[in-house]
Homo-oligomer: A and B are copies of this chain.
């Protein structure tokens, strides 16, 4: 199923992104105002993708995101992770834990033209190796410009 493929892909990417070192990317201040695409919850704290997360696409990247390719220089995607709050049969989002980011940059030739970054709730960069920790997994989606998640009309 599409949701499973998406989940597996995002899981592989973010888990590995957060495990390595190095990134030239900073956290954009306005990511929360970008286009919300979809959300997912992984309530197991032992899981590398624990959290209530959303996928946001920068307005200038949205047309390419919807097509699945053709991202312009500077295109941005953000995936914030929030704590998971389960009460009375409802699962909601708690405080922000971290934000994963991709930015289109033609100089990032070793990583398919994307910069990868991850940041804590204060905007401080977390250690990662963009190639070994992120792009190696994204290469599986070369036909979609290395982006796993997809627009669902």
A-side residues, CB < 8 A to B, are 1, 3-4, 6-7, 11, 32-33, 35-36, 38-44, 47, 49, 52, 54, 56, 85, 87-94
Q: With A40-B90, A40-B92 as given contacts, are A85 and B35 in contact (CB-CB < 8 Å)? A: no
A39 and B32 alpha carbons, distance in the complex (Å):
13
Other 19 A-B pairs with CB < 8 A, given A3-B90, A41-B41: A1-B85, A4-B87, A7-B87, A7-B88, A7-B90, A32-B36, A33-B35, A36-B54, A36-B56, A38-B92, A39-B92, A40-B90, A41-B90, A41-B92, A42-B89, A42-B90, A43-B89, A44-B89, A49-B90
| 23 A–B contacts, CB within 8 A, in A order | A1-B85, A3-B92, A4-B87, A4-B88, A6-B92, A7-B92, A11-B90, A32-B36, A33-B35, A36-B36, A36-B56, A38-B93, A39-B39, A39-B52, A39-B92, A39-B93, A40-B90, A40-B92, A41-B91, A42-B91, A43-B91, A44-B89, A49-B90
With CB as the reference atom, state the residue of chain B lying closest to A44: B89
- Max chain B CB contacts within 10 Å: which of A38, A42, A91? A91
6 tightest Cβ-Cβ pairs between the two chains A and B = A36-B36, A41-B91, A40-B92, A3-B92, A7-B90, A39-B39
**A interface SS class:** strand
Contacts of A56 in B (CB 8 A): 36
